[in-house]
């Protein structure tokens, strides 16, 4: 969330199971507008959670809405990190997508409601949260945070250039993302002699790199250094591979 803000949760349940909202054509709009006006009065931003498309569209008239959750509840759905399509909807409405909370460690199973549940891929959760450009909201128990995983999310946010070409990104295009302690390596599949420009925001500084795909059609980009190479980067320390076949679509 922003420094000052709040989340409006269970929007779908409140809308679908409140009789007045099913019988009064204007009440839903009035409710959301009044909520937005109150937030503006007190200098707060709003996040919509479990929103129906009607709520998301109404946010176009409510500037205080800056974020919307675009995923299922964490832990309930093992694929809740797949937010590619819903994030595009959020961007079209000029609000930031939120992936929901996540655990940064594989060793955590402390929630009595979800006995035996653990997080098999903390790095995946962190990367998706970071690349969403929305809030990054770890939900670990006190003293259970994996600082190495979490601090990577504060290091890099990258923006894909030429959105008509890159959104949505296919696993045939970005074939692998390697998470390293100090950078990301992107493995790109293109056509020979194709020119690709990518933009990155690294520690609040905008960087860009323009590369020409070599004859072997494999290109490797270092996000922090903003460099490209036609050979696999040599830095493999603490590597975590994330295959985009199950990451971005």
**pLDDT tens column, 198-220:** 776 666 566 778 888 887 778 88
Q: How far is CA 122 from the centre of its chain?
A: 14
In terms of Cα–Cα distance, which of 69, 68, 70, 94 is closest to 82? 70
pLDDT band at 67 (very low <50, low <70, confident <90, very high): very high
Tokens standing for residue 172: 């045939």
Q: Is the dihedral of CA 123, 76, 8, 142 positive or negative?
A: negative
Q: Which stretch of 20-24, 78-82, 97-101, 147-151 has the lowest confidence by average pLDDT?
A: 147-151
Other beta carbons within 10 angstroms of residue 127's beta carbon come to: 23
Rounded Cα–Cα distance for residues 247 and 168 (Å): 12
Question: What is d(CA 25, CA 35) in angstroms, rounded to the nearest whole number?
Answer: 17
Which value, in Å, is the radius of gyration of the alpha carbons in the chain? 20
pTM for the model stands at 0.63
Residue 122 has pLDDT above 80, yes or no: yes
- Phi and psi at residue 118, in whole multiples of 5°? -135, 170
pLDDT digits 0-9 by tens, 71-102: 999 988 888 999 988 999 998 999 999 999 99
Higher pLDDT, 207 or 149: 149
pLDDT tens track for 167-198 = 344 566 777 777 666 677 788 888 888 888 77
């Amino acid at each position: 969330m922003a420094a000052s803000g709040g989340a409006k949760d269970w929007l779908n349940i409140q809308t679908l199971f409140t009789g007045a909202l099913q019988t009064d054509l204007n009440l839903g709009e009035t409710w959301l507008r009044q909520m937005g006006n109150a937030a503006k009065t007190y200098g707060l931003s709003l996040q919509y959670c479990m929103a129906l498309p009607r709520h998301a569209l109404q946010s176009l008239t409510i500037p205080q809405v800056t974020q919307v959750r675009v995923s299922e509840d964490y832990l309930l759905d093992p694929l809740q990190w797949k937010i590619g399509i819903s994030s595009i909807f959020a961007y079209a409405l000029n609000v930031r997508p939120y992936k929901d909370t996540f655990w940064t460690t594989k060793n955590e199973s402390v929630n009595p409601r979800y006995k035996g549940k653990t997080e098999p891929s903390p790095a995946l959760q962190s990367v998706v949260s970071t690349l969403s450009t929305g809030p990054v909201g770890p939900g670990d128990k006190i003293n259970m945070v994996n600082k190495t995983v979490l601090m990577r999310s504060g290091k890099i946010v990258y923006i894909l250039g030429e959105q008509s070409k890159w959104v949505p990104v296919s696993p045939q295009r970005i074939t692998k993302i390697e998470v390293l302690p100090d950078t990301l390596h992107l493995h790109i599949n293109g056509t020979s002699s194709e020119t690709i420009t990518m933009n990155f925001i690294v520690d609040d500084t905008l960087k860009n790199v323009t590369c020409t795909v070599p004859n072997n059609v494999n290109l490797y980009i270092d996000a922090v250094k903003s460099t490209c190479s036609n050979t696999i980067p040599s830095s493999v320390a603490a590597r975590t591979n994330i295959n985009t076949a199950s990451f971005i679509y």
